[in-house]
């Protein structure tokens, strides 16, 4: 009896590695990859066959390769760089351990050792599609490594390979394989309406209950997720690619895409001071949020009581350790008696819902029930200006916005918002970009994209630019995420099974 060992397949694979991207060896390398994948997945270390069957097996493989190879000559792959002079030595990778995460089927930990300290990363790809190769983060100057692989499909077969870098040399390791499991029931099923627009980035979104944050690729497939207990809303995608997630109305956390919780804070206050709607991270790593502020007023002059409660909002700034650094009270800058309908509105008078930093470092606050955006001086607490109906700027009546959400600055420094519209006033929603002239106090629009009437969303929702000529919309009422051009033509459209608050476009995971 003769044994065909896994090491022999590895030897053939290693021989082909330096030329694996060149024609005509590319397809042969893929076949060897597939053989290794089947062998690893089935956990078969030896094939027990007779000498005659072994010969027949290799003859069959040879003829299959000869027949199929010509058809693969036009398969485009990036060329492999030529080997650098003086790179004859090798960095050996040993003791490879592949471990799926307990609570997340789309995270795979790969631990291994190298024969010397090296910078090392992992290339990984679907077993049947090497063209969609992905690259992991870099593990730097270590001999004991642990790399977490993310951005994968569920229930799929993957192959990976370590790449060690020492000086200007790259050393390719053996091929390994794993299979991801099916997604858990908490991850929503996505309905695809239009996937004709192919974009290179990803879309980050969530469902409120169960609290599941997830990422879609351009084909509407879930490639990352995190499930939380109870209600969870993702409110910020920071510049360092971390997520700020609000858990109910008392807790928030910051995490990265590898599942590491960077901070978690429980806001231990009474029921009248709950946090809500927004988490905004600044350059000092502080976290800003909105808090409920309830105060009692004498409303007897308008037919109310002498000690009626009015509910408005605070802005609260927390240091990274969770201590409070700054608090701004909206009721210090607005008088409830100025509202002729205060008796009807006092239980949710302002309903602020978004924060953003302006280019000069002062804060912008969206006050939904006022149909206004305020700019607040972060040094003096004064209100610098009010934009919107009955505000401080000259603006066209057609540019008035209603029940707005998701204010933020575009890469050009202009103010963008989701104009929800309002029942009985304008029952359509739209994206608006304002050019704010603070010197002359004039607000003009650079862009208005009005959505069809059946995409009217009178609450929640957001929009943001993708590059210079695409706009991402998240419509909570229709449970829809879609991309349009600047004239509002739908280019990409998916539907979620449950309501959500916002969605974000992201270039990559790291």
Instruction: Map 386-453 to HEC letters.
Output: EEECCCCCECCHHHCCCCCEEEEECCCCCEEEEECCECCCECCCEEEEEEEECCCCEEEEEEEEECCH
Choose between 128 and 234: higher pLDDT.
128
In 168-210 the beta strands, taken as DSSP E runs, fall at 169-179, 191-194, 202-207
Residues 6+ apart with CB under 8 A from 198: 218
Sign of torsion over alpha carbons 436, 442, 446, 447? positive
Give span(s): CATH 2.60.40.10, the chain. 93-179
Residues 6+ apart with CB under 8 A from 240: none
Render pLDDT for 466-486 as a digit per residue (tens, 0 to 9): 999 999 999 999 999 999 999
* Confidence band for 28, pLDDT divided at 50, 70 and 90: low
Q: Is the pLDDT confidence value at 67 over 60? A: no
- The whole-number pLDDT of residue 3 equals 34
Mean pLDDT of the chain: 86
Q: Is the pLDDT confidence value at 235 over 90? A: no
Choose between 296 and 210: higher pLDDT.
296
Superfamily of domain 93-179: Immunoglobulins (2.60.40.10)
- The whole-number pLDDT of residue 1 equals 35
Query: What secondary structure letter does DSSP report for 168?
Result: T
Closest CA to 289 of 254, 257, 261, 339: 254
Q: Of all residues in the chain, what percent carry a pLDDT higher than 70?
A: 82
* Confidence band for 296, pLDDT divided at 50, 70 and 90: very high
Mean pLDDT of 74-81: 42
Distance separating alpha carbons of residues 221 and 397, to the nearest angstrom: 42
- The whole-number pLDDT of residue 208 equals 82
- The whole-number pLDDT of residue 59 equals 53
Mean pLDDT of 116-120: 93
On the CB side of 126, how many CA atoms lie within 13 Å of its CA? 11
The pTM of this model reads 0.84
Structure tokens at 292: 């409920």
* Confidence band for 154, pLDDT divided at 50, 70 and 90: very high
- The whole-number pLDDT of residue 111 equals 98
* Confidence band for 247, pLDDT divided at 50, 70 and 90: confident
* Confidence band for 249, pLDDT divided at 50, 70 and 90: confident
- The whole-number pLDDT of residue 98 equals 98
Structure tokens at 294: 């309830």
Q: Is the pLDDT confidence value at 96 over 60? A: yes
Structure tokens at 434: 């304002």
Long-range contact list for 428-432, CB < 8 A, 24+ apart? Answer: 428/452, 428/453, 428/456, 429/455, 429/456, 429/457, 429/458, 429/461, 429/475, 431/463, 431/471, 431/473, 432/399, 432/401
Render pLDDT for 301-340 as a digit per residue (tens, 0 to 9): 999 999 999 999 999 999 999 889 999 999 999 999 999 9
Q: Are 443 and 388 in contact (CB under 8 A)?
A: no
- The whole-number pLDDT of residue 21 equals 42
On the CB side of 182, how many CA atoms lie within 13 Å of its CA? 5
Distance separating alpha carbons of residues 365 and 381, to the nearest angstrom: 12
The H-or-E segment that residue 223 falls in is strand 222-228
* Confidence band for 250, pLDDT divided at 50, 70 and 90: confident
Mean pLDDT of 271-279: 78
Lowest mean pLDDT among 7-16, 181-190, 332-341, 396-405: 7-16
Angle separating helix axes 25-41 and 51-68, nearest 10 degrees = 140
* Confidence band for 30, pLDDT divided at 50, 70 and 90: low
Choose between 278 and 41: higher pLDDT.
278
Q: Is the pLDDT confidence value at 64 over 60? A: no
Distance separating alpha carbons of residues 168 and 288, to the nearest angstrom: 44
- The whole-number pLDDT of residue 238 equals 87
Rounded to 5°, angle at Cα 489 from 488 and 492: 115
Which residue is associated with the tokens 């050019």?
Answer: 435
- The whole-number pLDDT of residue 144 equals 97
Q: Is the pLDDT confidence value at 50 over 90? A: no
- The whole-number pLDDT of residue 32 equals 56
Rounded to 5°, angle at Cα 396 from 392 and 397: 95
């Amino acid at each position: 009896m003769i044994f065909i060992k896994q090491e022999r397949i590895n030897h053939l694979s290693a021989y082909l590695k330096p030329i694996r991207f060149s024609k005509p060896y590319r397809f042969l390398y893929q076949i060897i990859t597939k053989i290794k994948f089947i062998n690893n997945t089935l956990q078969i270390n030896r094939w027990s066959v007779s000498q005659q069957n072994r010969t027949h097996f290799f003859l069959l493989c040879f003829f299959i390769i000869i027949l199929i190879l010509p058809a693969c000559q036009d398969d485009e792959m990036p060329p492999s760089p030529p080997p650098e002079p003086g790179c004859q030595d090798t960095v050996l990778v040993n003791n490879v351990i592949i471990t799926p995460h307990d609570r997340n089927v789309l995270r795979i930990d790969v631990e291994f050792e190298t024969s010397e300290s090296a910078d090392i990363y992992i290339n990984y790809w679907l077993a049947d599609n090497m063209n969609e190769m992905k690259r992991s983060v870099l593990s730097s100057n270590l001999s004991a490594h642990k790399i977490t692989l993310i951005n994968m499909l569920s229930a799929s077969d993957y192959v990976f390979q370590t790449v060690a870098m020492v000086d200007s040399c790259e050393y390719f390791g053996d091929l390994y394989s794993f299979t991801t499991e099916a997604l858990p029931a908490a991850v929503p099923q996505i309905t695809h309406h239009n996937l004709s627009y192919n974009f290179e980035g990803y879309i980050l979104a969530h469902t409120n209950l169960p609290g599941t944050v997830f990422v879609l690729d351009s084909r509407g497939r879930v490639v990352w997720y995190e499930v939380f207990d109870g209600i969870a809303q993702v409110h910020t995608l920071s510049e360092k690619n971390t997520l700020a997630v609000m858990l109910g109305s008392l807790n928030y956390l910051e995490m990265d895409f590898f599942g590491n919780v960077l901070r978690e804070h429980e806001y231990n206050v009474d029921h009248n001071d709950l946090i809500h709607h927004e988490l905004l991270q600044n350059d000092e790593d502080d976290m800003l949020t909105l808090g409920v502020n309830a105060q009692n007023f004498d409303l007897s002059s308008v037919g109310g009581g002498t000690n009626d409660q009015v509910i408005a909002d605070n802005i609260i700034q927390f240091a990274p350790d969770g201590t409070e650094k700054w608090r701004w009270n909206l009721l210090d800058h607005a008088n409830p008696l100025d509202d002729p309908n205060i008796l009807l509105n006092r239980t949710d008078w302002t309903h602020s819902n978004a924060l953003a930093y302006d280019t000069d470092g002062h804060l912008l606050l969206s006050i939904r029930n006022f149909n206004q955006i305020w700019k607040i001086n972060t040094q003096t607490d004064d209100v610098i200006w009010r934009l919107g109906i009955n505000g401080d700027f000259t603006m066209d009546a057609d540019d008035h916005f209603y029940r707005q959400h998701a204010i933020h600055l575009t890469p050009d420094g202009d103010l963008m918002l989701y104009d929800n519209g309002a029942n009985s006033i304008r029952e359509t929603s739209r994206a608006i970009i304002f050019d704010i002239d603070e010197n002359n106090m004039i607000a003009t629009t650079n862009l208005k994209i009005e959505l069809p009437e059946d995409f009217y969303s009178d609450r929640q929702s957001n929009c943001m630019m993708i590059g210079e000529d695409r706009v991402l919309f998240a419509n909570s009422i229709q449970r829809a995420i879609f991309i349009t051009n600047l004239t509002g033509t739908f280019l990409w459209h998916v539907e979620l099974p449950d309501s959500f608050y916002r969605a974000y476009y992201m270039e990559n995971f790291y």
